[in-house]
């Protein structure tokens, strides 16, 4: 039975962003983020919870239809989570990506449901209970709590019977993947070889040579610098730059001009008392029966001295509370169904109700405890109240002034806007389109056609929910070719670094070649360049004994012969080189690694599962009405 409003906590959070954000995250990154965030609810992320009658069909799978109501019940919560995660980066572009992701997921669930039905898959009650009892949400101090389980379900509007029926269906569908995992295998020899490679250790040392230490050893010819400039002139441009005048309207500045007196503050306190109040709570037990006659029978038994708790276990049809003597715990207003709530909040502590009718049947209620609500005094919340009052007035003023700013900016010059609204005109320094000194939205509008080419005021730009600006072009500098004198220092530095890198690459190569040939020139080169080996250490693939780049180079080297070392010279990015000595390779004694085996089996079963899903989709008649999503 449902005792609480359907997913009330979700409904409370049903708030979406008020403005479109231009700071976009696009392309493959957008798909990646959606892929990471589009996950089922931890507890109630199943579309069956919300489906209801609807005439709008958004997809069908072999005639099995998905309604828009069912689609939105999955899409909206995921959209809210995505907006919360991305904040200002969220953009309407994500809507289309997320819609496609959600509808595909729902189609896959339907296909798997049809497939599991065709295979006559079933889930036993013991399997269901094992899954539920392993869920951390239902555990207290590491152990499954029947009280916590029932209470959490009640708070989300579900009886244990309803929740378990839904999870049973979900488990049955998931058996396809579990069966694949059970049938997947990896041979012991393959597992042993892979584990040996994965856990391999290598003894090594190295010499790292940094180009920056050899900048004074190389010299760039002046003609080379000039030649580089002539060949790469298109790289040496000073981009177009602009200077902008702007007027800013912000909540912070408005708040500074608001004066607060005690009378206004106290009136505000009276209006907002609920904000500073704690709700009253009731702790009750109840017995739910189907008919009024059954309710009267139970009431008579209680009046004759019958034990309420025992009678609840015997007569109540509320599977979510009967085993707990009908105990509903503490609750506030707005949680229970209206008829139940109205009665229980009118009762005296310790009293018993008559038969209370609701959509679920007839309740007999015993009120065990009352916790009265409380209100904080005016003086105790003065500081918080002042801040809230100022913020409220500032917000109202901000929106009114924003409308005024928008109208004036459309009609008159920025100077007149400044005079009429008593707002200062601010001026930026010159900046290019790729600047990071200003918000991206500010820069985009500053370089828009209206501002840059037509010389008009911009529309009001919302830089944040509390800050708005109007901009106008003050001055612009055209894109220009930089002269050789302006960039010759930059070019010289660049070419010097390239020469120094070539120099250290050669040193590394000469040292490695000498060591491979077993001659003494390596030591001379090291002495001349003041180089020395690092301490010899053992490393695994994830070791921190050297940089990731060096460890990757190390594990790419071939295994050395008995009693000999492998030497190699390697470039490290654009500014370093390294000589590596690989002395020994070993693998630890083999001990079966169940974690690695499970990972391999899981990978294999996932690949098989993906193949089955692909086949199901190709064989099914799938229709998606994208214009209805």
Long-range interactions of 226-229: CB distance < 8 A, separation 24+: 226/484, 226/488, 228/491, 228/494, 228/495, 229/484, 229/487, 229/488, 229/491
221 with 243, same domain: the answer is no
Average pLDDT over residues 63-77: 86
Domain that holds residue 48: 8-182+616-628
Place of tokens 């169940």: 594
Q: Does residue 603 belong to any structural domain of this protein? A: no
Helices (H) and strands (E) in the chain, counts: 22, 22
Using pLDDT thresholds of 50, 70 and 90, give the confidence band for residue 182: low
Question: Mind spelling out the 3-state secondary structure of 19-53?
Answer: CCCCCCCCHHHHHHHHHHHCCCCCCCCCHHHCCCC
How many other CB atoms are found less than 10 A from the CB of residue 178? Answer: 14
Please state, in angstroms and rounded to a whole number, the distance separating the CA atoms of residues 334 and 348. Answer: 19
Average pLDDT over residues 130-150: 82
Per-residue CA distances from 364 to 226, 291, 341, 547, 610 (Å): 96, 12, 13, 71, 53
pLDDT value of residue 112: 81
575 with 533, same domain: the answer is yes
Q: Does residue 267 belong to any structural domain of this protein? A: no
Average pLDDT over residues 70-86: 80
Q: Does residue 599 belong to any structural domain of this protein? A: no
pLDDT value of residue 3: 30
pLDDT at 11 over 50: no
13 with 33, same domain: the answer is yes
Please state, in angstroms and rounded to a whole number, the distance separating the CA atoms of residues 160 and 146. Answer: 10
pLDDT at 109 over 90: no
67 with 135, same domain: the answer is yes
154 with 24, same domain: the answer is yes
36 with 161, same domain: the answer is yes
pLDDT at 628 over 60: yes
Please state, in angstroms and rounded to a whole number, the distance separating the CA atoms of residues 588 and 200. Answer: 7
Is the CB of residue 26 less than 8 Å from the CB of residue 92? Answer: no
Residue among 516, 524, 518 nearest 579 (CA)? 516
Q: Does residue 119 belong to any structural domain of this protein? A: yes
Coarse DSSP helix, strand, coil percentages of the chain, rounded to the nearest 5 percent: 50, 20, 30
Number of domains in the chain: 4
Is the CB of residue 588 less than 8 Å from the CB of residue 200? Answer: no
pLDDT value of residue 299: 94
- Provide the β-strand partners of residue 622: 61
Please state, in angstroms and rounded to a whole number, the distance separating the CA atoms of residues 449 and 443. Answer: 12
DSSP sequence for 41-100: -TTT--GGGT----S-EEEEETTEEEEHHHHHHHHHHHHHHHHHHHGGG--HHHHHHHHH
pLDDT at 346 over 90: yes
338 with 402, same domain: the answer is no
Q: Does residue 507 belong to any structural domain of this protein? A: yes
Q: Where would I find the H helices in 518-629?
A: 521-528, 548-554, 594-619
449 with 319, same domain: the answer is no
pLDDT (tens digit per residue) in 534-569: 999 999 998 999 999 999 999 999 999 988 999 999
- Structural tokens at position 367: 């009120």
Q: CA dihedral defined by 278, 280, 281, 286, rounded to 10 degrees? A: -160
Using pLDDT thresholds of 50, 70 and 90, give the confidence band for residue 13: very low
41 with 178, same domain: the answer is yes
Report the CATH number at residue 254: 3.10.50
pLDDT at 17 over 60: no
Using pLDDT thresholds of 50, 70 and 90, give the confidence band for residue 7: very low
178 with 82, same domain: the answer is yes
Is the CB of residue 578 less than 8 Å from the CB of residue 569? Answer: yes
Report the CATH number at residue 622: 1.10.4030
DSSP sequence for 129-183: HHHHHT-GGGEETTEE-HHHHHHHHHHTT--HHHHHHHHHHHHHHHHHHHHHHHH
Average pLDDT over residues 56-66: 90
pLDDT (tens digit per residue) in 291-301: 999 999 999 99
pLDDT value of residue 177: 63
Average pLDDT over residues 336-352: 92
Q: CA dihedral defined by 313, 319, 325, 326, rounded to 10 degrees? A: -120
513 with 577, same domain: the answer is yes
Q: Does residue 273 belong to any structural domain of this protein? A: no
- Structural tokens at position 496: 């010097």
Examine the fold and report which residue of 466, 481, 496 is the final residue of a domain before the chain moves on: 481
- Does the reported pTM lie above 0.95? no
Examine the fold and report which residue of 481, 498, 528 is the final residue of a domain before the chain moves on: 481
Q: Does residue 19 belong to any structural domain of this protein? A: yes
473 with 493, same domain: the answer is no
Using pLDDT thresholds of 50, 70 and 90, give the confidence band for residue 180: low
pLDDT value of residue 271: 82
Average pLDDT across the chain, whole number: 83
Q: Which of 8-17, 326-335, 372-381, 527-536 has the lowest mean pLDDT?
A: 8-17
- Provide the β-strand partners of residue 363: 288, 356
Percent of the chain at pLDDT > 90 equals: 46
Q: Does residue 105 belong to any structural domain of this protein? A: yes
Report the CATH number at residue 287: 3.10.50.40
Residue among 29, 73, 25, 28 nearest 49 (CA)? 73
pLDDT value of residue 275: 79
Average pLDDT over residues 131-143: 82
């Amino acid at each position: 039975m449902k005792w609480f409003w359907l997913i009330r906590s979700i409904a409370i959070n049903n708030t979406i962003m008020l403005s479109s954000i231009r700071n976009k995250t696009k392309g493959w990154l957008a798909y990646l983020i959606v892929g990471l965030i589009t996950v089922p609810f931890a507890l109630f992320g199943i579309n069956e919870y919300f489906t209801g009658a609807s005439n709008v069909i958004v997809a069908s799978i072999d005639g099995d239809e998905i309604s828009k109501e069912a689609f939105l019940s999955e899409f909206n919560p995921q959209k809210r989570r995505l907006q919360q995660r991305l904040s200002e980066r969220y953009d309407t572009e994500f809507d289309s990506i997320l819609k496609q992701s959600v509808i595909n997921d729902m189609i896959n669930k339907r296909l798997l449901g049809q497939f599991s039905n065709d295979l006559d898959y079933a889930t036993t009650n013991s399997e269901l209970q094992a899954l539920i009892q392993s869920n951390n949400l239902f555990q207290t101090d590491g152990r499954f709590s029947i009280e916590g389980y029932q209470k959490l379900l009640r708070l989300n509007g579900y009886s244990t019977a309803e929740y378990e029926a839904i999870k049973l269906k979900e488990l049955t569908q998931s058996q396809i993947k579990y069966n694949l995992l059970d049938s997947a295998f990896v041979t012991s020899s393959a597992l042993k070889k892979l584990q040996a490679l994965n856990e391999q250790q290598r003894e090594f040392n190295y010499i790292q040579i940094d180009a920056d230490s050899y900048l004074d050893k190389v010299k760039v010819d002046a003609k080379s610098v000039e030649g580089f400039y002539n060949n790469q002139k298109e790289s040496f441009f000073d981009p177009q730059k602009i200077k902008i005048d702007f007027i800013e309207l912000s909540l912070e500045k408005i708040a500074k001009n608001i004066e607060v007196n005690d009378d206004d503050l106290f009136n505000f306190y009276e209006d907002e008392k609920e904000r500073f109040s704690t709700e009253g709570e009731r702790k009750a037990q109840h017995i739910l029966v189907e008919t009024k006659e059954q309710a009267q029978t139970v009431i008579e038994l209680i009046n004759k001295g019958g034990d309420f708790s025992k009678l609840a276990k015997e007569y109540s049809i509320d599977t979510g509370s009967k085993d707990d003597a009908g105990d509903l715990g503490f609750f506030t207003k707005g949680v229970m169904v209206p008829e139940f709530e109205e009665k229980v909040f009118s009762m005296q502590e310790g009293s018993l109700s008559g038969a209370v009718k609701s959509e679920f049947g007839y309740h007999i209620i015993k009120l065990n405890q009352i916790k009265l609500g409380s209100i904080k005094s005016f003086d105790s919340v003065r500081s918080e109240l002042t801040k809230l009052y100022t913020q409220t007035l500032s917000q109202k003023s901000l929106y009114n002034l924003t409308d005024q700013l928008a109208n004036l900016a459309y009609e008159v010059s920025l100077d007149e806007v400044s005079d009429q609204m008593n707002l200062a005109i601010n001026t930026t320094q010159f900046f290019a389109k790729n600047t990071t000194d200003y918000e991206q939205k500010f820069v985009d509008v500053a370089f828009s056609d209206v501002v840059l080419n037509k010389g008009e005021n911009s529309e009001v730009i919302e830089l944040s929910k509390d800050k708005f600006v109007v901009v106008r072009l003050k001055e612009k500098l055209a894109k220009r070719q930089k002269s050789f004198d302006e960039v010759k220092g930059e070019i010289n530095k660049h070419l010097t670094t390239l020469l120094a890198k070539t120099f250290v690459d050669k040193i590394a190569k000469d040292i490695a070649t000498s060591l491979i040939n077993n001659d003494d020139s390596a030591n001379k080169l090291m002495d001349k360049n003041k180089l020395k080996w690092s301490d010899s250490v053992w490393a695994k693939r994830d070791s921190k004994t050297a940089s990731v780049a060096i460890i990757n180079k190390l594990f790419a080297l071939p295994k050395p012969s008995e009693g000999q070392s492998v030497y190699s010279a390697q470039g490290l990015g654009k500014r370093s080189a390294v000589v590596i000595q690989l002395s020994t390779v070993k693998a630890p004694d083999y001990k079966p690694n169940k974690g690695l085996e499970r990972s391999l089996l899981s990978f294999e079963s996932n690949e098989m599962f993906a193949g089955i899903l692909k086949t199901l989709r190709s064989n099914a008649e799938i229709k998606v009405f994208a214009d209805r999503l």
